[in-house]
Amino acid sequence: MIGFRISEEPYVKCGTWLSARSKLLYQLLGTHILQQTSGSAFSHAEVLGHTATVFGATGFLGRYIVHRLASRGCTVVVPFREEMAKRHLKVTGDLGRVVFMEYDLRNTPSLEESVRHSDIVYNLVGRDYPTKNFDLEDVNVEGAERIAEAVAKYDIDRFVHMSSYNADKTSKSEFFRTKGRAEEVVRSIFPETTIVRPAPVFGFEDKLLNKLAGVSNLLTSNRMQERFWPVHAIDIGSALAVMAEDDTTAAETYELYGPKNYSMAAIAALVDREIIKHRRHVNVPKRFLAPMAQAYNKLIWWSQTCADAIEREFIDQKIDPNAKTFKDLGIEPGEIANFTYHYLQGYRSSSFYDLPPATERERREEKKYMHVIDDQ
């Protein structure tokens, strides 16, 4: 950022002299300019001196932690694969605070180059569906192992590994199995690893609210009876940022989940009420839908569904009683019902776009009626 100072000869820090017209302007503004120069908007880049590497920063959760670290003055190294996938991260911090490095998950030297100057490393890399280039074992286990080995080689102070709720090497779901094995692998290589298990996450770019509000989510297999505690993406970002500053979180396991338990059907009803539309959901037995989803996953090249996603519909979220939570980080998680209006307004038709949130409309409807109690 460029800062200004008011004096006999006002100047810009980079050495460019101000014109007489600019000098008069800044003399008139006076104290306001001085306050802006010394305030956090100009000088926040000197708050922290950490260097952090965030693998998987171009994904859903990555932008939330990169913004928090960069805005607090950390230098953030963002390894990336695709040039266009990282554009939105350039403006998350001051000039030079976000550094981009091309890498490949199978290329160990590129991983080591990304972490060698860092104080803390975040591994947010994960995949919940297989592709022709990477299956779940390649990404969730072997990729995490290579990153942990690079962290251990350069003796990085902190390593935070993003796992998943229900991570268990004995699970029926391949995704949960690989996440469970990855936890054991990274802890065996780097014992001080902080493991984070987020519940299903909601936000602007999520696969929960957007999926339920879209027209393509037609087929289900468990009558949408899967139960979990949805968690806000912003709360996850805040928790990850706290871990960078609190060394007592090292070698701990955190279960990060929302304050209320929902079924998928209950969230679908919440979504329908907010978008003022009714999305149909047709139940298909798992023995038929799983092969269909597997074939569909091989046919298309973007994430839509897979056989393992159908299996996960039959597994409720389980909370590890020994794991720490948001409360241990001093964070109060948000309730999903308080955010659906902001995240789903774009799915409304133009006729209802400007209507207030569903809860506010319901309160207005109640005022139209007088409730009389006959106790005779």
Residue 354 has pLDDT above 70, yes or no: yes
In eight-state DSSP terms, residue 351 is T
Q: Average pLDDT of 53-69?
A: 95
Residue 157 has pLDDT above 80, yes or no: yes
Residue 31 has pLDDT above 60, yes or no: no
- Ranked by mean pLDDT, the top range of 17-26, 287-296, 322-331 is 322-331
pLDDT at 49: 76
Strands 201-202 and 120-123: unpaired
The token pair that represents 78 in the structure block: 């963002």
The token pair that represents 167 in the structure block: 């991570």
Could you tell me the pTM of the whole model? 0.83
The token pair that represents 353 in the structure block: 């776009």
pLDDT at 218: 87
pLDDT at 302: 78
Q: How far apart are CA 117 and CA 149, in angstroms?
A: 15
User: Which residues, listed in sequence order, are joined to residue 232 by a DSSP beta bridge?
Assistant: 202
DSSP per-residue string spanning 269-306: HHHHHHHT-----EE--HHHHHHHHHHHHHH-SS-S--
pLDDT at 367: 63
Please check whether residue 336 is in contact with residue 202, taking contact to mean a CB–CB distance below 8 angstroms: yes
User: Which residues, listed in sequence order, are joined to residue 324 by a DSSP beta bridge?
Assistant: 254
Tokens 């230098």, residue? Answer: 75
Share of the chain above pLDDT 70, in %: 84
Please check whether residue 223 is in contact with residue 263, taking contact to mean a CB–CB distance below 8 angstroms: no
pLDDT at 66: 96
pLDDT at 359: 74
187-242 per-position pLDDT tens digit: 999 999 999 999 999 999 999 999 999 988 889 999 999 999 999 999 999 999 99
Q: How far apart are CA 129 and CA 126, in angstroms?
A: 9
pLDDT at 18: 43
pLDDT at 372: 61
In eight-state DSSP terms, residue 18 is P
Residue 126: half-sphere exposure toward Cβ, Cα within 13 Å: 25
Helix (H, G, I), strand (E, B) or coil at 344: helix
Share of the chain above pLDDT 90, in %: 73
The token pair that represents 132 in the structure block: 């022709």
Q: Average pLDDT of 157-170?
A: 97
For helices 174-189 and 144-153, give the axis angle rounded to 10 degrees: 10
pLDDT at 53: 98
Q: How far apart are CA 123 and CA 52, in angstroms?
A: 11
User: Which residues, listed in sequence order, are joined to residue 120 by a DSSP beta bridge?
Assistant: 52, 158
pLDDT at 7: 41
Q: Average pLDDT of 236-255?
A: 96
Binned at pLDDT 50, 70 and 90, residue 4 comes out as: very low
In eight-state DSSP terms, residue 320 is -
Count of H-run helices and E-run strands, the chain: 16, 15
* Backbone angles phi and psi of 139, in degrees to 5: -85, -55
pLDDT at 366: 62
In eight-state DSSP terms, residue 226 is -
Tokens 């409730």, residue? Answer: 371
Residue 75 has pLDDT above 80, yes or no: yes
Residue 373 has pLDDT above 80, yes or no: no
101-155 per-position pLDDT tens digit: 999 999 999 999 999 999 999 999 999 999 888 999 999 999 999 999 999 999 9
DSSP per-residue string spanning 102-141: E--TT-HHHHHHHHTT-SEEEE----SS--SS--HIIIII
The token pair that represents 334 in the structure block: 């948000």
Q: How far apart are CA 56 and CA 125, in angstroms?
A: 4
pLDDT at 374: 58
Q: Average pLDDT of 359-364?
A: 71
